Amino acid sequence: MRFGQGLLINPSGAIEEPLIDRHCAWDGLRSQDVGGFTDKDIKGLLNKWLHGPNLLGGGDASMRTPRTLQVQVSLPIPPPHQPQMHSTTIRAIGEIFPTRKFKIHNARIPDRQGQSIAIANQKGGVGKTTTAINLAASLAVLEYKTLLVDADPQANSSSGVGFDPKNIRLGLYECLVQEIHPQDVILATNTPFLDLLPSNIDLVGAEIELLDMPNRERILQGVLKSIQGNYDFIIVDCSPSLGLITTNALCAANSVIIPVQCEYFALEGLGKLLNTIKIVQNHLNKHLEIEGILLTMYDGRLRLCNQVVEDVKTHFQDIVFDCIIQRTTKLGEAPSFGVPVIHHDADSRGSINYLNLAKEVLIKNGHIKAEAELA
């Protein structure tokens, strides 16, 4: 038996045929040229795999039963993944930033309109914009007047609700730098109860132009304050950085949602963001609270995702949303149509996930009661 163009070996580890293709891959690893290695070197590596811990199955004995095995080889072979690395990272973050030192959002009776929630994480690709668009749309579908603020120069939130950033003449940049009233900039979307404060590439220049302005960290706060009474929720999509625009968003927000991808690198950036939030709480916005940590891009088939979820929930406990955003095709397709996922496919898992997230946000902000309280 042979896997593609690999080696034919028997249970004793003997190589019965020479290596046919020197460019091959093992378990999705990048193909590498194994030229220069002798058959003896390859045989030793294969024997180590046959009789040692199984990289693919985590020590599953069924993968090493006395039968003909066929293996695709890639050299050098990395060591098996160690899940405890995630636990170590979480513990390190916990030692520096214990959750008790942060203001954690507790359920309360809403005493003001325009609850501002920033979606922030300095790491890109963790689902910030997807969360901002679909959380705002879910709140709007539940008939809560919602404003989506695109504070990212990439303007993906603007395009994600049906607007071409190239055609946007007035946006957040003009509100911050030129002091244009936001009411003259806000656009109505195709979703009832959902408005957009758009953005475009001009927002890149705001980072520099705000540097010389007085009270530069609170300019966005003044912009949103003038329209706060018109909305139940204001969702701010932050840029993937810890720059001045993101600082403005944290100063203007009442709380912050932190999307965390269910992968190791996303955990490494969590400590830096928590440090920034702590600085903002101490010096700029003492009322800033952590709405919650949102686990995104979850795939239950992957052991890594399950390990990250377990580690994050074990340490951060109540600060983590019960809702987990699953990785689905519909969530990825929706932006190409310029609509939130609830309009693209209301029955999809992504749509249901974000409706559940909206429900948790409403409970935390006292707009509806939890099921336990109703019982």
- Band (pLDDT 50/70/90 cuts) for residue 124 is confident
User: Looking at residue 119, what is its pLDDT?
Assistant: 95
Rounded to whole angstroms, the Cα distance separating 184 from 151 reads 17
- Band (pLDDT 50/70/90 cuts) for residue 44 is low
Within 10 A of 50 (CB to CB), how many other CB atoms are there? 16
User: Looking at residue 212, what is its pLDDT?
Assistant: 85
**172 pLDDT exceeds 90?**
yes
Most confident region among 43-57, 153-167, 295-309 by mean pLDDT = 153-167
**45 pLDDT exceeds 50?**
no
- Band (pLDDT 50/70/90 cuts) for residue 22 is very low
Give the residue among 235, 290, 241, 249 at the shortest CA–CA distance from 269. 241
The predicted model gives 90-109 an average pLDDT of 48
Within 10 A of 243 (CB to CB), how many other CB atoms are there? 14
Phi, psi torsion values for 258, nearest 5 degrees:
-110, 105
Q: Could you give the domains of the chain? A: 7-71 (no CATH), 84-374 (3.40.50.300)
User: Looking at residue 57, what is its pLDDT?
Assistant: 38
**pLDDT per position as a tens digit, 246-304:** 999 999 999 999 999 888 777 777 877 888 889 889 999 998 999 999 999 988 888 88
User: Looking at residue 302, what is its pLDDT?
Assistant: 86
Rounded to whole angstroms, the Cα distance separating 316 from 292 reads 9
Those residues with Cβ within 8 angstroms of residue 263's Cβ, 6 or more apart along the chain or in another chain:
297, 304, 305, 308
Those residues with Cβ within 8 angstroms of residue 62's Cβ, 6 or more apart along the chain or in another chain:
none
**43 pLDDT exceeds 70?**
no
- Band (pLDDT 50/70/90 cuts) for residue 106 is low
User: Looking at residue 371, what is its pLDDT?
Assistant: 62
Q: pTM for the whole thing?
A: 0.71
The predicted model gives 194-199 an average pLDDT of 95
User: Looking at residue 41, what is its pLDDT?
Assistant: 52
* C-alpha separations of 68 from 2, 9, 55, 120, 242 in Å: 9, 6, 18, 51, 54
**32 pLDDT exceeds 90?**
no
- Dihedral of CA atoms 107, 293, 328, 339 in degrees, nearest 10, equals 60
Mean of all residue pLDDT scores within the chain: 75
User: Looking at residue 262, what is its pLDDT?
Assistant: 85
**67 pLDDT exceeds 80?**
no
Within 10 A of 325 (CB to CB), how many other CB atoms are there? 26
- Band (pLDDT 50/70/90 cuts) for residue 337 is very high
User: Looking at residue 144, what is its pLDDT?
Assistant: 94
User: Looking at residue 354, what is its pLDDT?
Assistant: 94
User: Looking at residue 187, what is its pLDDT?
Assistant: 94
The predicted model gives 85-99 an average pLDDT of 47
pLDDT above 70: percentage of residues in the chain: 68
